[in-house]
Structure 1
Amino acid sequence: MQKLKYAGYDIVFQEVPGEISLAINITNCPYHCSECHSSYLANDFGDFVDDDIDKLLDKHSSLITCVCFMGGDQAMDDLKFLLEKVKAQGLKTCVYSGAEDVSIFKTILHLLDYLKIGPYIKTLGGLDSSTTNQKFFRVANGEICDLMNDRFVKKTHPN
């Protein structure tokens, strides 16, 4: 089984609306999106997530409500294992992926609370753009429930 590696993590507030998330930056990304803001994550390097997930959860579980894997679908069995560990801690889960279709996640949807799909295309913008191709979903009971892109788009206020 292929094991996922990561190149760091951070506690974030904007990746998953309404959640305080531990965002884990997974390396060896298979998508190679043109003009990706984290293109270094396409390289195969870093520590194995499996080796550190328990320490990360122990250290941060009192501060967070969600764990967001920034990638990981290139090793779906390992991702499933990690999602199970997170769920066992009573935390919500999210996966960010450059995949264009939710069908590749059918074996793990029951372990997800949120899922972002779609490659980054500079001319369309990211999740904060009203023209983006990317989609951010809420997942419940193994089913895609709501498209939540509107939570990311910056509202303009009249002066």
Structure 2
Amino acid sequence: MLHYINTDVVFQEFPDEVTLAINVSGCPCRCPGCHSKFLWADRGEDLTDETLSALIHETKGTITCVGFMGGDGDPAEVDRLAQHVLSHHPHLKIGWYTGRTAISPLIDQQHFDYIKVGPYLRHLGGLDSPRTNQRMYRRSPDGSFEDITSRFWKAHDDKNL
């Protein structure tokens, strides 16, 4: 069972989406420089199908996407919750931010519209840096995933690369 600490409606996590970001706890990655250390401990409310649908209902008409922020301790459960969103809220897109360096084989990528992988490494920067190790993937209409990381890069001076 996944647990979540809190939620927020955000505008920058997934491109062109208004996202219900669900902060899932119990992250085993412990990334140096993590901005969400409060998600390391496995605590918070149970993230059940009913709870997920209630959270979505509270934001009805506002959001276009549900984003699972974390869930690295149980990717199969993140996948199951994504299936729930697909079957009960098919008008919404689904995203997942994982601190892992690769997409888990325990998920069906077709259940997601966006997947971001990679721990935050301060010396490489986040998605807005061309030096980042993080990658953002978007599912194309044909079902393949394309790397759209460069879409996030801010204008950088070549000497800073």
- Name which of structure 1's ranges 123-132 and 138-147 shifts more when overlaid on structure 2: 138-147
Shift of 1:105: 4.0
Structure 2: gaps (5+ residues): none
Shift of 1:142: 8.8
Shift of 1:140: 4.0
Shift of 1:156: 6.0
Equivalent residues of 1:34, 1:120 under 8 A apart: yes
Where does residue 125 of structure 1 map in the other structure? 125
Where does residue 15 of structure 1 map in the other structure? 13
Map Cα deviations across residues 77-122 of structure 1 (whole Å, 9 max, x no partner): 32122101211212100000011112x2463201010000011111
Where does residue 152 of structure 1 map in the other structure? 152
5 Å matches for 1:38-117?
38-50=36-48, 51-88=50-87, 89-90=89-90, 91-102=92-103, 104-105=104-105, 107-117=107-117
| Percent identity (aligned) | 37
Equivalent residues of 1:36, 1:120 under 8 A apart: yes
Q: Distance in 1 between matches of 2:13 and 2:59?
A: 17
Where does residue 35 of structure 1 map in the other structure? 33
Q: Distance in 2 between matches of 1:106 and 1:48?
A: 21
Equivalent residues of 2:140, 2:146 under 8 A apart: no
Q: Distance in 1 between matches of 2:106 and 2:19?
A: 23
Shift of 1:143: 4.8
Equivalent residues of 2:83, 2:111 under 8 A apart: yes
Shift of 1:71: 1.0
Q: Distance in 2 between matches of 1:99 and 1:10?
A: 23
TM-score, with normalisation over the residues of structure 2? 0.88
Residues paired across the two proteins, number: 154
Tell me which stretches of 4 or more aligned residues in structure 1 moved more than 6 Å. none
